[in-house]
Structure 1
Amino acid sequence: MLLGEYTGLRAIEEDDLEQLLVWRNDPAMRRYFREYRELSMANQRAWYESKVLGDPATRMFAIVERGTEQLIGAAGLCYIDFINRNADFSIYIGADDLYIDDELAPDAGRVLLKYGFEELHLHKVWAEIYSIDDAKQRLFYELGFAREGVHRETHFTEGGWVDSLFYGLLARDFET
């Protein structure tokens, strides 16, 4: 297990899938995810088998609370490019409908970034989020990411178009 001050990152287990599915299907959170429809358990199992267990370019983790080991969210590095040493950053806290809070998400984010830069020897970690995702924008700035670009009106949600925002963090700029 990878340990932070308040959280730990561990392998996602099959027993986690049901709770992760509940969080992924929560409309309040799903508005920030790439999914455009509700997922079924079959979708969740297919993701688990193909991405979590079967894809070396994906490193997904369960976020657990230190001390209790209770599942509270998920985080990962996806689309890992081992040639160019970069990966997409993903994180959310599902417990208590937090999504992104001021304590658990930053702690788990730092743990994941340390893993990416120190264990995987990544040069850059990047992310694409939607412009309606104020909480994740604040998190990225707290973690040291820089906003690198905007793709205008790429995502239709809640009756209107929103922008995609691109953030990046270089290994040399990461501070543990």
Structure 2
Amino acid sequence: MFRPTYPLRTARLTLRPVTLHDLDDVCSWQGRPEVFRWTLSGPRTREESRSSVVAMAGEDALRAEGDCLTLAVVTEAEVIGTVELVWRSQTDRTAELGYVFHPGHGGRGLATEAATALLDWGFTEVGLHRIYARCHGRNAASARLMARLGMRQEAHHVESYLFKGEWADQLVYAILASEWATPASSPHGQPDGGTPGPRASRR
């Protein structure tokens, strides 16, 4: 089992497990249509957000292949988003990164800072070999975030999945442990958007 020593802290953020007390903050972004612009799911009611929070609250460690670790991203006592790692392959030491942030907190580099902390934990504490992330082909904000994290574009799958009744492209970015820079040399503080990757809003 791999479980961070909580909380994880960065210069401006605290990363910790989601709790039921986070419902109001989570509702503040899960009810917004723009958050789900590039995801297969849509805005949530409060009860749907409650179910989402309950599910995320149980995702506090990587216990077996297929598990998801989801962390609340907190600044000034407010949960402004979540970042997650899905353990895709134990043999190949591979995980998938996901994220979702309240759009009102975009442009300050907070998503980059939070994702950097989770990537660093995955490489240095879990011993992952490769971490990848995916987004809709037109989700420019998510693609820029992945590039800021040092991930390189590995693939552009053309019309690879059905998205709201239309065939859509998908971009795949990845980074290897051997390519990973330490947090001290990572691009903290650069502007980023609040648009999620596809995994982060799957619930």
Q: Is the 8 A contact 1:58 1:80 kept in 2?
A: no
Which digits, 9 at most, give the CA deviation of each residue in 1:17-57, with x for residues without a partner? 343244233210112234256461454255336x5258732
Tell me: CA distance 1:104–1:37, structure 2 relative to 1, closer, same or farther (3 Å).
closer
Q: Within 5 A, what are the aligned runs for 1:87-126?
A: 87-94=95-102, 96=104, 98=106, 101-126=107-132
Q: Is the 8 A contact 1:155 1:164 kept in 2?
A: no
SS of match in other structure, 1:116: helix
Residues 1:75 and 2:100 aligned together: no
Q: Is the 8 A contact 1:89 1:125 kept in 2?
A: yes
Whole-angstrom CA distance in 2 between matches of 1:10 and 1:133: 27
SS of match in other structure, 1:118: helix
What is the letter of the counterpart of residue 15 of structure 2? Answer: L
Once the 2 structures are TM-superposed, how far is the Cα of residue 14 of structure 1 from its aligned partner? 1.2
SS of match in other structure, 1:144: coil
5+ long unaligned stretches in structure 1: none
Match of 2:143 among 118, 128, 137: 137
Q: Which has the higher strand share?
A: 1
Aligned-pair RMSD on alpha carbons? 2.4
Match of 1:29 among 26, 35, 38: 35
Which digits, 9 at most, give the CA deviation of each residue in 1:110-141, with x for residues without a partner? 11111111111111111111012111111111
What is the letter of the counterpart of residue 30 of structure 1? Answer: F
5+ long unaligned stretches in structure 2: 1-6, 183-203
User: What percentage of residue pairs aligned between the two structures are identical?
Assistant: 25
Tell me: CA distance 1:34–1:79, structure 2 relative to 1, closer, same or farther (3 Å).
farther
Task: Give the number of the structure with larger relative contact order, counting CA–CA contacts within 8 Å between residues 6 or more apart.
Answer: 2
Task: State how many pairs are aligned.
Answer: 170
Once the 2 structures are TM-superposed, how far is the Cα of residue 144 of structure 1 from its aligned partner? 0.7
Partner of 1:60: 70
Whole-angstrom CA distance in 2 between matches of 1:46 and 1:12: 8
What is the letter of the counterpart of residue 20 of structure 1? Answer: V
Q: Is the 8 A contact 2:89 2:95 kept in 1?
A: yes
What is the letter of the counterpart of residue 63 of structure 1? Answer: V
Partner of 1:85: 93
Q: TM-score, normalised by structure 1?
A: 0.83
Which digits, 9 at most, give the CA deviation of each residue in 1:41-88, with x for residues without a partner? 454255336x525873211000012xx232111101014432221111
